Structure 1
């Protein structure tokens, strides 16, 4: 626990360092996002033009010239004039401030009502949540246009009042989104840990809960801003705004009234409204993506800092002859309310060349975490804070190094084969893709290699399977496809994570025979992660038994199965039904004919 606290303290220090620079980093990454940069530039230009409209407008937008009514574009009026002889370009520039401010008013009112109420209702629940939900349902049931007409009849035509009322009517969009996200985040362990640490509810909501829902809020704000611009233009058709005040909706209304006499007038306000709406949506999505990517990279950076420190402290030494992989003192943990929960607790593991090594244990013992650590596929929240993983002369805790051998010298067979094939693409296209991207084969070479592999794994009609979609093949065939993809690069190490769990007994035996045949033909090493003792007895040479993150016993299969020394191993074998041979195949190999589980 002392080590866990030290790691937690180290992570906290990294968090503080990254938090201090998160905003500049997000902005820099946003500037490198093409869609985000383009939309940001466009909105900045539009906003600056609106703010500095009096300085850049070529004419007074309110000046009426009866001699230039509906004039075509010329050197004096670049976009022509409207039905009253007013300069269209000047009215669009001046109307930008009104339209953007009106949109900001509506979105601001909606956010000011919906976000705080959603946060409080989602965090506390109870009577406030019930009352707020009732009010939200009432607002959603109200016909918006009828409400706006009623307000206009009482208060007169005012764009600002109309948009403020529209903001109130839009507030349920924020409330429902935030309420659902907060209810989900409220049950997370990090929120409970913050409560136990003594933070006030306001601090928890502002620092933890709000951070978890900021992405959806940003996207929703951008969407509502786009909608509000269109609604503001539509309100002009209905006479909700003041015709003496220039706005994009007013320019559009005048253009529509004169569409038969000067049809090009409707183009300019339509383009500016459409482009601004699209820019809001693109900027919101880009900002959401960069915020999420920064968080992921920040978490990854913490893990990288810790893994790098471990790598430097554990200098690599040449492996003994015949040893392909060595795991030494590996410790993996995840943050929880107590600081750090270890799931792998200082294990040692060696895999020799050309052998099949079984890793067995009950669910939750740390088998898959160990396999993911070897593959470099641990989640960003995982922390490797001790130990080393050495594959030949490659340090697998170095992310850049593991990416160079994964998919080439180290391959992986996951469980649940159908779920690991993309239903949108054919089997062949999914086999070809890694061959072309990783092994740099041409398309013709990749197709030929894929068909050869499908035949090698025992598929009777490789052509048909190659052109089939995953739902058109059986689970056993899907597993064979995954095996074909795994051995395509002629790897030195194959990690199979529960490769027969989702298959029936007959297909399990066929897949095991296939793995044994491939292993014997190519001489590769296999790390078999499973809790099926029969599978281990049938195919493995050595076995390691894991319990609660530790390897309690390692040795040859015959020795472990016939003479287990650890109590947990005996309990594991004792859980089998009496008189039941652990081997699934009816004809065991001669070298292991006497292998059976003894109580």
Structure 2
């Protein structure tokens, strides 16, 4: 593949500009931000803005209300309240910032790792979180203050540590919901590291709950800091803080109630501002994600394939030295009440370099699960419990997470059946495409941008510069599929797994996508595994095909041989259901029943309850995959009795 040298003109608008523009739609949030910035600026510039020294006394003007010389009045010692308020903001806001920074620095990584990695990491983190949540926070904080004296920084950092479990629990729950999104799987398949996926894809998506939790905690931290100052554990007189200003005012509230207003109103408005700003930021950053989710559901629907069903042992075929991918006796299981339930079993297939192979069957037969096993992306707690997956002689089932990361994207890539869902709704197409290119093809930013534009041109996208600036929800289904193909090709893989690549597309766009895949395969020489339930797609692009039913490969053959003479009744039934093969005026035949669920497979042939030619011996013992002709194998005891017409239109 050659990349054009067209200059990149798609510089995306800075994120901060988009945020500030979206914040305009939340006037209360903008007002809260303005107030907090004003307070922060006042604290930083207190030396310049304060009209008096905050510790200077003027007993002749004690307990005065607002006057021309003292805009906010004075306290019992005649000290200027405005000056003390500005200098006190340094102490109170710094302590609040220390607590918030600590709760984010401790809680967010723990929550991300526990939610994303799961397993023992989640169990250990969950135990620590439960223990810390059981500790009475205020008691522990007072103990720490007693040990370290009046060191407010230590107290506020300790408050952040005590608040971290709550943050970790929120982040963990949000991460668990996000980690199963297709765009997260697509990022992993592209070969991106776990750290990169967490920081660049998971973290932005869970930033809304983080911001809301942090803003609420900021209000709590300011209250705690004020309380410590009120109790005399913070800044010591005559140095000001908002807390000791409240303490001073409380002694004279009966004779000078105004003295409580400056500090009390500032604290209340600050806490309110933290909450309003958190809500505004959450709404501003979540808008695109919600819009993308709506469009994604509209375009892709709920086309998730159900879990497949268990299978049984099959004969091992000799390794083919020319095969790029060789799957031998693969068994995938999930824990069940009685031990383990097989989802797929004894699956054997192979793909040579430059070959296009189809994997066909009804939904729930295990096609997508087989593809996930090849990519090392089985969802927990599903696991490979038998067999081998050899890619270029290397057993994928024995690779660790880092080795799989190096393999994905650069050697094996995936095209998802839900293209919009496989793109991160938070980032532009150009951002996502360039991050994959940076992972696999080191170069300058300008070179990477040019390569991204060239990839979009290679997949027949018009106006690639405009597409680079677009967000996923702004793309049609066909455009999103082309972008997904471009991202899959960014690492120049040797094997491409295309899982239902045309399911959500209309007939015209489907034909264009299939033609694009054929052209790209000729140009790159990669092997392609097409997972589909559509015989038309298999016939159009594949040379050989494997038919799956209830977790087993029940037939394998060149595509033309399958169409001309199927040797398994399930294959014959699927072919007979094709509208193009029915005689004019005849009703379409149907295969009665449905695919059995894992754990409820028949003892013998898995298809026997639905098979019109089944006999007693079909249900007695497991049936092996036996060769019926050169390159043609079937898991049927009576392959010569198979006929497409054994099924009728009224089969149930």
Give the deviation of 1:49 after TM superposition. 4.0
- Distance in 2 of aligned mates of 1:341 and 1:441: 47
Give the deviation of 1:579 after TM superposition. 3.7
Name the structure 2 match of 1:534.
Answer: 536
Name the structure 2 match of 1:282.
Answer: none
Corresponding residue SS for 2:379 = coil
Corresponding residue SS for 1:418 = coil
Q: Is the 8 A contact 1:394 1:402 kept in 2?
A: no
Name the structure 1 match of 2:505.
Answer: 503
- Distance in 2 of aligned mates of 1:375 and 1:338: 28
1:254 is aligned to 2:247: yes
Name the structure 1 match of 2:637.
Answer: none
Q: Is the 8 A contact 1:516 1:539 kept in 2?
A: yes
Deviations 1:369-409 (CA, angstroms, capped at 9, x unpaired): 11011111111211211111010032211133322211101
- Distance in 1 of aligned mates of 2:406 and 2:227: 59
Name the structure 2 match of 1:409.
Answer: 411
Name the Cα RMSD after superposition: 5.1
- Distance in 2 of aligned mates of 1:456 and 1:504: 21
Unaligned segments of structure 1, at least 5 residues? 1-16, 31-35, 57-88, 108-176, 182-218, 238-242, 279-316, 582-596
Q: Which has the higher helix share?
A: 1
Deviations 1:66-124 (CA, angstroms, capped at 9, x unpaired): xxxxxxxxxxxxxxxxxxxxxxx59x99xx9xxx9xxx9xx9xxxxxxxxxxxxxxxxx
Query: Residues 47, 326 of structure 1: CA spacing in aligned structure 2 closer, same or farther, 3 A cutoff?
Result: farther
- Distance in 2 of aligned mates of 1:438 and 1:578: 43
Matches within 5 A, 1:313-392: 320-392=320-392
Q: Is the 8 A contact 1:479 1:499 kept in 2?
A: yes
Corresponding residue SS for 1:364 = coil
Give the deviation of 1:443 after TM superposition. 1.3
Query: Residues 44, 529 of structure 1: CA spacing in aligned structure 2 closer, same or farther, 3 A cutoff?
Result: farther
Q: Is the 8 A contact 1:255 1:266 kept in 2?
A: no
Q: Is the 8 A contact 1:395 1:401 kept in 2?
A: no
Deviations 1:331-365 (CA, angstroms, capped at 9, x unpaired): 11112334322111121111111110000111111
Name the structure 2 match of 1:428.
Answer: 430
Matches within 5 A, 1:146-545: 251=244, 253-256=246-249, 320-397=320-397, 398-399=399-400, 400-545=402-547
Q: Is the 8 A contact 2:226 2:244 kept in 1?
A: no
- Distance in 1 of aligned mates of 2:493 and 2:120: 39
1:556 is aligned to 2:562: no
Query: Residues 435, 26 of structure 1: CA spacing in aligned structure 2 closer, same or farther, 3 A cutoff?
Result: farther
Query: Residues 44, 320 of structure 1: CA spacing in aligned structure 2 closer, same or farther, 3 A cutoff?
Result: farther
Q: Is the 8 A contact 1:562 1:598 kept in 2?
A: no
**Higher RCO, 1 or 2 (CA under 8 Å, sep at least 6)?**
2
Query: Residues 232, 496 of structure 1: CA spacing in aligned structure 2 closer, same or farther, 3 A cutoff?
Result: closer
Corresponding residue SS for 1:254 = helix
Q: Is the 8 A contact 1:324 1:352 kept in 2?
A: yes
After TM superposition, the score normalised by the length of structure 2 is 0.47
Matches within 5 A, 1:583-594: none
- Distance in 2 of aligned mates of 1:456 and 1:438: 18
Query: Residues 358, 43 of structure 1: CA spacing in aligned structure 2 closer, same or farther, 3 A cutoff?
Result: farther
Q: Is the 8 A contact 1:329 1:387 kept in 2?
A: yes
Deviations 1:432-455 (CA, angstroms, capped at 9, x unpaired): 111012322321111111111111
- Distance in 1 of aligned mates of 2:123 and 2:458: 51
Corresponding residue SS for 1:569 = helix
Name the structure 1 match of 2:591.
Answer: none
Q: Is the 8 A contact 1:415 1:497 kept in 2?
A: yes
- Aligned length in residues: 360
Corresponding residue SS for 2:460 = coil
- Distance in 1 of aligned mates of 2:212 and 2:427: 32
Corresponding residue SS for 2:417 = coil
Deviations 1:133-182 (CA, angstroms, capped at 9, x unpaired): xxxxxxxxxxxxxxxxxxxxxxxxxxxxxxxxxxxxxxxxxxxx99xx9x
- Distance in 1 of aligned mates of 2:324 and 2:563: 24
Give the deviation of 1:465 after TM superposition. 1.9
- Distance in 2 of aligned mates of 1:423 and 1:49: 44
